[in-house]
Amino acid sequence: MSYESTIGVNDPVTGHAVVSHADWIASRKKLLEKEKEYTRLGDELNEARRALPWEKVEKNYVFDGPDGKVTLADLFEGKRQLVVYHFMYAPGWDEGCVGCSHLADQVDGSRRHFEQVDVSFVAISRGTLPELEAFKKRMGWTFDWVSSGGSDFNYDHGVSFTPEQVASGKIPYNYGTTEQVYDELPGVSVFYKDEDGTIFHTYSSYGRGLDILLGSHHYLDLTPKGRCDGEGFGSWLRFHDQYEKTATASCCGCK
């Protein structure tokens, strides 16, 4: 039975196909084949990611942390692996990027688990430490967050851009160039420190590559409305302390 042959009477409210249980099971099994293929491809991708060659970190990056100056090596906090989230927050901003904040909302719960298997996490931004700490307090986050404002770290890892780059109308991002020009953009980078203290850059990802870190998006992917982007990507997204308490299921613009 083809997927198309299972289309039945349309629901008068949603306009979606409504079929018998038997036809629903047939359609669900057909989709399950694709889901299993997707899972297998994901496993292969994860293996390929781990097999990437590494590059040695040659610079001695220094950051501003709550207890003073810290190096990249210090951020490992005794572990071998370090995940860095490049949070969009430039000096002088009143608050961080709402998309980065959405992702950051999901970090503390996850890190209670992944930090048990030799991984540390830190957010890094060019904003000043007082700016970062004030916003962190407002949002109620507990993960470490340091300022890279006095170093080349953000520029070297492709998430901050010079005035000259911005003025050109194109910026280097996600291993290419984009005409969507911003001073700051998000990313994630991973580092490994060996027994001798040598640090290696093992992975970085940007743009839609960050989607794997957004658990809330994957919950929405299970629902009929999906990510609710009827008015544009993330049009419904707000800082978590700004959602209206009277918000309804249709407030996202994808009625």
Q: Rounded to two decimals, what is the model's pTM?
A: 0.89
Backbone angles phi, psi at 109, to 5 degrees: -65, -40
CA pair distance 208, 212, nearest whole angstrom? 8
Q: Residue ranges of the chain with pLDDT lower than 70?
A: 1-14, 229-234, 245-255
* The pLDDT value given to residue 188: 98
* The pLDDT value given to residue 235: 74
- Could you state, in order of their start, the residue ranges of all structural domains in the chain? 4-50, 55-212
Give SS3 for 50. helix
Q: From the options 3.20.20.30, 3.40.30.10, 3.40.50.2300, 3.30.1340.30, give the CATH code of 55-212.
A: 3.40.30.10
Q: Where are the beta strands (DSSP E) in 42-118?
A: 55-56, 62-65, 68-71, 81-86
Helices and strands, counts by H and E, the chain: 7, 12
* The pLDDT value given to residue 247: 52
Counting other chains too, the contacts that 130-138 makes at CB distance below 8 Å and 24 or more residues apart are 131/89, 131/91, 131/92, 131/93, 132/89, 133/66, 135/89, 135/95, 135/96, 138/95, 138/241
* The pLDDT value given to residue 245: 58
* The pLDDT value given to residue 244: 76
